[in-house]
Amino acid sequence: MLNNQAIVKPEYLRKFGTVKTLVQKELGAYKEACQAFAQKVSKLNGVIAIGALPYSGYVDIWTITNRRNRNLDRAIIGCLIEVVREYEDILFDFMIIHEEELLPEDAIVLYKKGK
């Protein structure tokens, strides 16, 4: 079960409000940023899925890879940094998961290898 509370810096609380958030069913304001990230990362060899779990105030982005690989992780993080710089008003919570673990059940699938 996902906890719908996050630990955030005080400056984010002032900007985005309460820490208690609700899961959203659509990407809404996060759609363009999430699609930009997925477009960049889906081209990397070893990425098998990308999902987003939007909340009011921030978005979780899950990137699933087929193996542990430091160079792949660095490339994924580089793509994230590009997107964060372009969409600086959006607060991201970002995870790289290795070894073919599944996206969260509620996640919106942005990319899945083979689909």
Domain residues for the domain of 85 are 17-112
Which residue, 60, 45, 73, is CA-closest to 105? 60
42-51: pLDDT as tens digits = 999 999 999 9
Number of H helices, E strands in the chain: 3, 4
pLDDT at 73: 95
Contact (CB, 8 A) for 112 and 49: yes
Q: Strand ranges (DSSP E) for the chain?
A: 47-54, 59-65, 92-97, 108-112
Domain count, the chain: 1
Does residue 39 surpass a pLDDT of 80?
Answer: yes
| pTM for this model (two decimals) | 0.74
Mean pLDDT of 29-40: 91
Tokens of 10: 């005080």
60-104: pLDDT as tens digits = 999 999 988 999 999 999 999 999 999 988 888 889 988 766 788
Q: What's the CATH number where 24 sits?
A: 3.30.70
